[in-house]
Amino acid sequence: MSSPGRVPGDDLALVDLLDRLLDGGVVVAGDVVLSMAGVDLVYLGLRLVLAPAHKVLSRVGPELVEG
Amino acid sequence: MSAAEPTVVHAYGVVDAATGAEVVMPAGGLGGAEVQVVRCGVLGVLASRVSAESYGEQAWARNGQDARWIGEVARAHHDVLQQVATTVDVVPMRLPGIYADETALRHVVGSAERVLLEALAEVRGHVEWGAKVFDLGVADGGEEDEAPATGADYLRMRSQQASRRQQAVDRRSRAVLDLHERLAHAATHAVLNAPQDPALSGRREPMLLNAAYLVGRAEQETFVAAAQQLSDRVRDEGLLVELTGPWPPYNFGVRPTQERSA
C-alpha cells in the first residue's frame, strides 16, 4: 500500500536525516534573503504529515508548547 | 536547465575559504546541479545554482509538506555534505538554504562571519555520530506467579509486580544515562535531542535516547568500539543501541540561540 506522507520502511535513515536537517539543533540560518514566511509551519506540517492522525492529536499540544 | 531560466542559490554548508580550494567537488548537487565554492571573505560556501521553479521559495511553499519531495532535497543536500565532510571541515546549513543569488549569500554569510568562524572552530577535525537507544522491554523481571489464593494475596502480588516493573524501569534509565555519559566522555561534545516518535522512527519500541556526539576523525575507532561494548552491556537490560555515522556535524557548530542573536 502506498501512503505518500509516510517515510518508506526501507528508508529509515531518511528519518534521521530529517531529524537533523529540519528539526532544530541545526546550523546556519539559510532563510534570510527569501524570507520564508511560515517556515516553522512547514516543519510542523511535515511532522504532522509524517505522523499518523492519532499521534498528532495526542502529541501536537506539548510539542507546540515546547516549541 | 536552460541559461535563461530563473535560478536561486542553494547553499549546503560553510568551509574555510583556504580549504575550500582543496575540496574535491561532489559530481552533482541538488537536481544534479554543479556544486561550487562561493568565496565569502575568509569563508567559502558550498552552493549550487538551481532552478527557481523547482527549488525556490514557491517550490518550498508548494512542496513543503510533501515528505517525498523534502526527502529528495534532504538527500541531495546531505550527499554533498557527506562527500565533503569525510575529509574537509564543514558547517552544514539548515534547510531550506535558499538565496536569491551569490551576492545575497555573501551578504548573509558576511554578517554572520564571527559566528560561522566559531562554528568551524568547534567542528574542526570532527564528524558526528548518532546513538539511539530503544526500550525492548524484555527485562521486566516477570517470572510466572502462582494463582493468588485470596484477595489479599492478589493485591500483594500486584504490588510486587508493580515494584519489579518500576525497578526494571529505574535500572534501564540508569543504564541509558550511564551509556550516554560514557559516550559523551569518548566524544568532544554531546547533544541530546528529543526522542523520535515511534511513527517516525519506524519502531514500535519507545526511544529512550536520541543523542549526537562530536567525535574527532582520529577518535572514531575508539568511539565506535566503546559504543559496541556499551551496546553489548545494556542488551541484557532490554535496551537496543543503534549507532549511526559518521555524519556531517549537523548537531554542532551554530546553536539556534546564536542563530537568533546573530
A12·B254 Cβ contact <8 A: no
CB B211 within 8 A of CB B180: yes
ipTM higher than 0.85? no
Contact B241, B179 (CB under 8 A): yes
Instruction: Supply φ then ψ for residue B214, to 5 degrees.
Output: -95, 115
- Binding-site residues on chain A for chain B (CB distance < 8 A): 4-7, 9, 11-34, 36, 39, 42, 45-52, 55, 59, 66
Our CA-based measurement puts residue A53 at a distance from the nearest CA of chain B, in whole angstroms, of 10
CB contact (8 A) between residue B67 and residue A27? no
Contact B99, B11 (CB under 8 A): yes
Determine the pLDDT at residue B18.
85
Range B12-38 average pLDDT: 87
What whole-number distance in Å separates Cα of residue B88 and Cα of residue B84? 6
- A16-30, B65-79, B183-197, range with greatest mean pLDDT: B183-197
Q: Distance (Å) from the C-alpha of residue A1 to the closest C-alpha of chain B?
A: 15
Q: Do A31 and B67 touch (CB under 8 A)?
A: no
Question: Cell 529540519 belongs to which residue?
Answer: A22
Mean pLDDT along residues B48-62 = 89
pLDDT exceeds 90 at position B175: yes
Name the nearest CA neighbour of B13 among B73, B80, B108: B80
Closest CA to B18 of B123, B89, B81: B89
